[in-house]
Structure formats: structure tokens, C-alpha cells
Amino acid sequence: MLFPPIDALYYTCPGIAQQGLSSFPCDGGVNYARATTGRVRRRYPHPLIVEQARTLLATARGYKWEALFTLALATGMRCGELIALKWQDINFKTGTLQVVRVLTRVPTKMPKREHVYMEAEPKTQKSCCRVMIAPFALEALKEHRVHQLEAKLKAGASWQEHDYVFCTLHGTHLGPNHVVEEFKLLLKQAGLPDIRFHDLRHSAATLLLSLGIHPKVVQELLGHTQISITMDVYSHVLPGMQQDAMGKLNEALRRREGDDKRESS
């Protein structure tokens, strides 16, 4: 199996700061973490195959964070983008959403609180994009909204209105570590490999490419600034795509029985 070069993945990792440490601890969302020694620690993607993705979705059905994991798998959105998503960003009529913010960790000088989470703009302008939502994910979001409205009524005066799609019982944003913990529990329940949450992003891209979706479409979905990044990161999918392409070319152009007879007649 081929894996992407260091430069390509390092470029796509929003969690890597200049000091070389992850600034967003969402399940090791970075593919490479640079230690203080300057060495690079590789974290290869481990995408789910189609059967595993189906198992994950089936296991998540009826789970409180079903919509979160479904949307992650359907769109390839990063953890910070998902927990910063607001209802105002979703257009149910067109079946689209806008990625306009992320939730990022900011250090503080308070001794009892090392950091806080704040809304910020996505890393690149390309990351601010409009994303089509698959119908199965859109249905999960609609059901999730009903459950959230019920929780809001139950919370009463303790509810804090921030318009977050995925939030606590009081309306505040979810912590990335909580998302990871819930994801790990779901994986265990489903009997799936212990992958990172960020691997849902890789799963979305790999599944789309393996289904023959044009890399340009996948690039736009993931918010990569250049298509070369997409091609480098997911180069392990290309051999299968080439084989499929040659099969289709062969089917279209190969001689069929009777062709020689028609030509000679």
C-alpha cells in the first residue's frame, strides 16, 4: 500500500503549530506530529471500507451522536468544523451546509484552566466551502434537531443558546475529547478497528474515490487548496481506480464475437 509523502500531509494538518505540537487534540486529528527534537511521527490514515462504514452507521442508529458520526463520514468534515457547526449553516431545502468556522483551542494564563475553546475562521479560504449533504445524513440531522429541541425544553432556563448543531444538554459546544471518547465506544460496540476520529475524513475521501468520483469533487468536499494534495494523500486509492478504468476501456473498445465476420463480409 502506498502512503502520502510527509510534505503533503503536513500541509493538510490544521492542528500542527509552528512549535510542532498539535493545537487541537481531536483524536490525533493531525497525521504527523513533530516532537521538540524535530523528528516527525507518522500517523498513517486507516480508512473504513464500505462494509465497515455500513456497520458503523448501523451501530450508530438511534445513538445520541448518530448525526455527528454520520455527517463526518458523509462529508469528511474535521472534528473542529463539526463541533463548531450551527443550524444557521445548514440549508435543508437545498441539502447543503456552509463550513464557515472551526472550534480551536486557545491557551490561557489561568493556572486552573490551561486553555479554552473559541470559534475561529477555517485555516484556508478553500476550507470555507459549501458542502452537499447526502440524503441519509440529512435525515439524521433532521432527527437530531427534533431530539435537540426536546432537550432544550427540558433544560429550560439553564439552556444557553449558541445555535450549535452538536452541543451539551445545556446548549454549549462539545469538547473534542468527548467526541473522541464517544467515537471509541461506538467502534468497540460495532466491533470495528480502533481508528482515529480523523480517519472518518479519510474514509469519506477514500470511499468516494473508490466509487469513481472525480478527484476534483473530492478536493472541493475536503477543502484542499490544490488537487495535488488530494492526489498525494489518497494515492493508495489510485491503483484500484486505474484498474477499474482499464476494465471500462477494455469493455468499450475490445473486439466482440462476430466483429471479424462483419468486417470481412
**Domains of the chain: which residue ranges?**
46-240
Catalytic: 224?
yes
Lowest mean pLDDT, pick from 109-118, 164-173, 254-263: 254-263
Catalytic: 201?
yes
Distance of CA 171 to the CA centre of its chain: 23
Catalytic: 234?
yes
Whether residue 27 has pLDDT greater than 70: no
- The 10s digit of each residue's pLDDT in 28-74 is 444 434 434 445 455 677 899 999 999 999 999 999 999 999 999 99
- The 10s digit of each residue's pLDDT in 102-135 is 988 888 777 777 778 888 887 666 556 788 999 9
Q: If you average pLDDT over residues 165-180, what whole number do you get?
A: 95
From 101, 105, 201, 202, the catalytic residue: 201
- The 10s digit of each residue's pLDDT in 133-163 is 999 999 999 999 999 999 999 999 999 999 9
| Reported pTM | 0.75
From 105, 173, 198, 202, the catalytic residue: 198
The answer for residues whose C-beta is within 8 angstroms of residue 112's C-beta and 6 or more apart is none
Catalytic: 162?
no
Q: Which residue has the higher pLDDT, 136 or 230?
A: 136
- Closest Cα to residue 186, out of 79, 58, 82? 58
User: Whole-angstrom Cα distance, residue 250 to residue 247?
Assistant: 5
From 39, 93, 109, 112, the catalytic residue: 112
First to last CA, the chain: 50
User: b/e string for 79-101 if b means 16 or more Cβ within 10 A?
Assistant: bbbbbbbbeebbeeeeeebebbb
Check residue 53 and give its pLDDT.
95
Q: From the DSSP assignment, how many helices (H) and strands (E) are in the chain?
A: 11, 7
Check residue 85 and give its pLDDT.
96
- pLDDT class of 20 with cuts at 50, 70, 90: very low
Q: State the amino acid at position 245 in one-letter form.
A: A
Catalytic: 173?
no
Grid cell listed for 28: 490525533
Grid cell listed for 180: 473522541
The answer for residues whose C-beta is within 8 angstroms of residue 33's C-beta and 6 or more apart is 16, 20, 21, 22, 40, 41, 43
**144 backbone dihedrals φ, ψ, rounded to 5°:** -65, -35
Whether residue 262 has pLDDT greater than 70: no
The answer for residues whose C-beta is within 8 angstroms of residue 21's C-beta and 6 or more apart is 33, 34
Check residue 15 and give its pLDDT.
39
Is 46-240 assigned to CATH 1.10.3470.10?
no
DSSP class of residue 191 equals: T
Check residue 189 and give its pLDDT.
97
Check residue 151 and give its pLDDT.
95
Q: What one-character-per-residue DSSP string does 58-119 give?
A: HHHTT-TTHHHHHHHHHH---HHHHTT-BGGGEETTTTEEE---EEEEEEEEETTEEEEEEE
Catalytic: 170?
no
- pLDDT class of 17 with cuts at 50, 70, 90: very low
Check residue 183 and give its pLDDT.
97
Cα torsion angle, 114, 18, 104, 179, sign: negative
**How many residues comprise the chain?**
265
Check residue 147 and give its pLDDT.
96
